[in-house]
Structures are given as structure tokens and as C-alpha cells.
Amino acid sequence: MVWATDQSWVLIDTTVRVLTQSAEVGSKLDHLLESFQQTTGFADESRTFRIAAEPDATAVYQNDDRLASYQSEDGALKYLMVEVNRAAIRQSPWFAVHAGVVQHGESIIAFPAVSDGGKTTLTSACLLRGFEYLTDEALVIDDSGSVVPYPRPLALSPWSCEKLGLEPGQGERLYTPRDLDADIGTGGPPTDVVIPTYGTGDMVLEKLARSAAVEALLTRSFNHYKNAERAFRLSTELARRVNVWHLVLGDPLETASLLYDRLG
């Protein structure tokens, strides 16, 4: 097979390589992963993906395994982003928690995932309200307690796009931080953990005991089981130095404004 593009990026600490047959698909991919550093480093076979044009479909391969095929190139790219994300988080050498994270100056605010979704919408709303982007997926904490940016593209549903005043796609649409006029944050020690829940009334932001962050982080961790002692140490150390909040979610943009005014 002839490959039009062959590019590699570093996501968290993992090199992911993608080959495409179509230069146009390669260009779209380049846009979607523009927040990550490109590299010429080695990606092993399990982290090498191929997007191939077939007679009636666009197929995604992981090494030589055909994972899925789609009628549209955009469908294949969305699927590829899911697989690339999975590979990056699975390989993460650091403690990783399912959460959105935004930054404004020295303030770094993490939202551990809500059980029935919403963190990508809230993260996107925060970017539109002036926060910098760190991730909508994984709060990655290195061994010194600092957040490692993981600024993957944000997948927004038509409902989310409507709420945020963005142009919707068919199904989920991928937005890069630049598409939302947001910069990438530099990372650093988290200052606030905000635990969101859905409510039917007014938005509320109220302080919680710091110990609430320990449970929020550990129970939403992707990889605590790999090194339980390290996960517990980092969670408790982080909990001791952050402010912990309970947030009853309202309209996403209004909620983001509340966070900007109170915590940003």
C-alpha cells in the first residue's frame, strides 16, 4: 500500500503513529492533533494506526488488524480519535483520572467525570469563557503532583453544540481548542477540584471537606490498580492542598461564567 502521510505525535508520554492513504485525511488529522507535539520517535505496532481507503468505505487498522470501517472519512477519524485516546491513557506512566481540567493563570480546576456525562460540554464552555485547556478526558498527575496537559480534540454532540452556540455536526463533532479560540495551559499543581452533579434548580457552588476529593479521584481513576500506593498518596496529597467544591450544574455557559468569576 502507498501511504500519503506518515505522522507521529506524543500524547501524554506515548508516541502514536498514524499513516493515511489520503493526503486530505492526513491534513484533517494534522488539524485534530495539532495540540500535541509531533515526533519522529518510534511507535510500537500496537500504537501504529492506518486509515485506508477501500472501495466503499474508509477503514481503520491498528497495525494489521482491521478495527472498523466507515462510509465517511470523518467517521473513521472520529473512531481513530477514540482508539488513539485509549492507547494514550492505557500507556500513561502517571496517575490518570477521568476528568476535565482547565486553567486560568495559577488556577487549575479539575472536574472529575459526572456519572451520566457532561464534562466535555462543561470543559468546552469554560474554554469559551476564557479558560485555557488542559484536557476534557484525563487529569494526568505526574509524580511531583503537577498536571500533565492532555489536550485532545473535544467531541461535542449536537445538543452540546446548540447549548454552546457552536455549529453542530452529524452526530458528534470534533473541535480542537484552537477552533474554540482557546490556548493550551502549561499545567502545574491543581488548585481546585469541582465535583459536579445535575440539579433541577439553581446553580450552586459550595465548599466540601477536602477528603471528598480523595474519593472523587480514586473512584474515577483509569489506572489506580497499577500502583495503588502511588494513586492513594497522590490523591491524598492533592486533596490536602486544593479547595474542593460541589457544583450543581446549570446552563453550561452560565456555569462556566460562575467558575470563572469564583475560581478563575
Partner 1 sequence: MGGPIRRSKSSILEAEVDGDLSLYNPDSSQVTVLNSSASEIWKLIDGSMTLTEIVNRLAESYEVNPDTIVDEVQQTVSSLTEAGLVETTD
Summarize as ranges the residues that interact with partner 1 (CB under 8 A): 209-215, 218-219, 224-225, 228-229, 232-233, 236, 239-240
CB of 82: closest distance to partner 1 in angstroms?
24
Max intra-chain CA distance, the chain: 58
CB of 162: closest distance to partner 1 in angstroms?
37
Distances, alpha carbon 244 to alpha carbons 125, 211, 217, 254, in Å: 20, 8, 11, 20
DSSP assignments along 45-77, one per residue: GGGEEEEEEETTEEEEEETTEEEEEESSHHHHH
Handedness of CA 139, 144, 145, 147 (dihedral sign): negative
User: In what helix (H) or strand (E) does residue 120 lie, and over which residues does it extend?
Assistant: helix 119-128
> Are the CB atoms for 85 and 119 separated by under 8 Å?
no
Nearer to partner 1, 63 or 219 (CB): 219
Nearer to partner 1, 99 or 214 (CB): 214
Nearer to partner 1, 187 or 190 (CB): 190
CB of 112: closest distance to partner 1 in angstroms?
12
Nearer to partner 1, 2 or 209 (CB): 209
